[in-house]
Structure formats: structure tokens, C-alpha cells
Amino acid sequence: MELYFLGTNAGVPSLERNVTSLALRLLDERRSFWLFDCGEGTQHQILRSPLKLSKLECIFITHLHGDHLFGLPGLLSSRAYQGGDTPLKLYGPPGLKQFVQMALDLSESRINYKLEILEHEGGRIFEDETFRVEAAKLDHRIPSYGYRVTEKDLPGKLDIDLLRRHGIEPGPLFGKLKKGESVTTPEGRIVHPAEVLGSPKPGRVVTILGDTRPCPAVVPLAEGADALVHEATFMHDLAETAFTYHHSTARQAAEAARQAGVKSLYLTHFSSRYKYEDQLQQLQREAQAVFPNAHLAREHELYPVKRGGE
């Protein structure tokens, strides 16, 4: 599981940065990736990345402001030309379906894969055998949501020596035990997974927030997360400006990370006024004064989400 930032600028693109989009790479876990927001130019950013649209499984839109959304019609339209013929699920606030359908209908765009648009107003919006996604409303000028992605616990390691003493060699029976199924040895003895599996590996948690002022919903969404992605539009000397425009400062992002007990904080959604490296470093230092494990999100860099204890 890895974070890959495709856009980190707020409002409009700049010469240095694109507008908001973030990929959660799940190649080992699902052989796919999920996309969070899709600002203008996202598909161009993907072309410059190791990501392949044929592997895109889900898109989660935090809110309907253009810098988080305007790249969506183009990406959906051209996905098939890049080998994307598998079903795609698109999640986001009410109004997302109307926006997408109108853009595709008026442009007479044809999509030759199954596109399912699922509007939500928070709560548990996705769950299968490996992952769960929950959403909660934040504090922004329009409805904006944060997403908590939870990887379910993984089975512990098999005790190979013990299995061999039971007469079970590597093969299909190993797979069944890892899936939680009991198996029968060649001698007819039933072996239960609990007898031969170590302690489960705890799943990882990633919280990705849309635009927001500091608000009560942030800490529950981020509680104990291995990685928190939080906007840091301004430095704290512009806290009043941040409040006026329903955004957060780097210090406020760090305070949320500290309160939630997260392991790593990634700052993104930087105002265009911060053009130069020394200005970005000031944002990072401001956050690190409160939460030392704070990082600037860099476009086209991979950030592994480590499991607890790794």
C-alpha cells in the first residue's frame, strides 16, 4: 500500500504543481489502485507516472469544487483507450452523478466499460473481504468529505514445522488454512487454522481528507491511522484567511494529527503563494513543531504506508 500524489496545489494549477489528486496504490493487496479526487490535468499526471488506468478500480471524490473534479470527464472518457475495460466505481457527494452524466452526454462521450456512480452523505460506503471505507462530512463551503480506508487484518504466518509434523506439505492445503478453513491431514486428522497460524497482522488505516476547516469530524476519521493526508493551504500567520475560506493551516493539520494519534502526516493542497522550496519548508517546519512526523506531499513520489511494527 502506497500513496502517490498526482496534484498538491490548491485552487488552480501552478507552474510547480497540479491541482488535487491522489492515488492509493494497492498492487500487492488488490492488483489495482484507487484515486482520490481528480482535478484538471489528472490524466496527464497519470501518463507521467507508473500508474495504469487499466488498473483503476475506484474513484472517491471529496467534494464538487473544480480543483478536485474537473479532470474527471476527460479521465473517464479516455480510460478505455488505455486498456481500461474493467468496471469502475465512482463515489462522491450528491450532485456528482448529474455532473458526470451531463458532461458525458453533452460531449457524446461513449464509455465501453461499466461505470457505477454511488452518491453518499457519509457512513460506511464500501466494504468487501479486504477493505472497508467510511466517510464523514467536514467543514467547508460546500459539502466536503473525508475518507477512512481500513485494511482488514491479515492472517498470521503458518507454522511450517508444525504443519510438516502433521504430514502437511506446502500446497493447496496451506492456502485453505490461510483463508481460515480447516483441513484434513493424509492420516485423517482435522487441523484447524488456529492451531497452526500465528497472530493476525493488523490491517493498515489511511485517512484522506477533503478541504476543511478544523472540525470535530477529523479526529474520529483519523484516529490511530497509519497515514493522514490533510490539507495545509496556508501557514498559521494566515489563520484568519484560512478560516474565512474554509481551509486549514499547516499547524492546524499537525494538531489534528497529534490529537488523532496518527503515525504519519502528509501535508497537501498548498496555496499558490508558496511557490518556492524554502516557503514549502516553512509549512513543514510549522507542522513539525507540533507533530514531528509531518511530511510535505511531493508530486510523483511514492510514500509506503507501513504496517505497525514495520
Q: Please give the annotated binding residues, written as ranges.
A: 63, 65, 67-68, 140, 211, 269
The dihedral over CA atoms of 273, 247, 16, 84, expressed in degrees to the nearest 10, equals -160
Please choose, from the candidates 95, 48, 99, the residue with its C-alpha nearest in 3D space to the C-alpha of residue 71: 99
* DSSP alpha helix (H) spans, 80-140: 96-106
- Rounded Cα gap, residues 93 and 95, in angstroms: 6
Whose cell is 461513449? That residue is 110
Angle, alpha carbons 272-290-37 (nearest 5°): 40
Active-site residue identified among 67, 105, 161, 226 = 67
Instruction: Give the C-alpha distances (Å, rounded to integers) separating 31 from 45, 57, 94, 196.
Output: 20, 9, 29, 28
Residue 169: CB atoms within 10 A of its CB come to: 11
128 is annotated as an active-site residue: no
Residue 262: CB atoms within 10 A of its CB come to: 24
Per residue, the 3-state secondary structure of 137-168, as one string, reads ECCCCCCCEEEEEEECCECCCECHHHHHHCCC
User: Which residues contribute to the annotated binding site for Zn(2+)?
Assistant: 63, 65, 67-68, 140, 211, 269
- Rounded Cα gap, residues 152 and 302, in angstroms: 22
By annotation, the residues acting in catalysis are 67
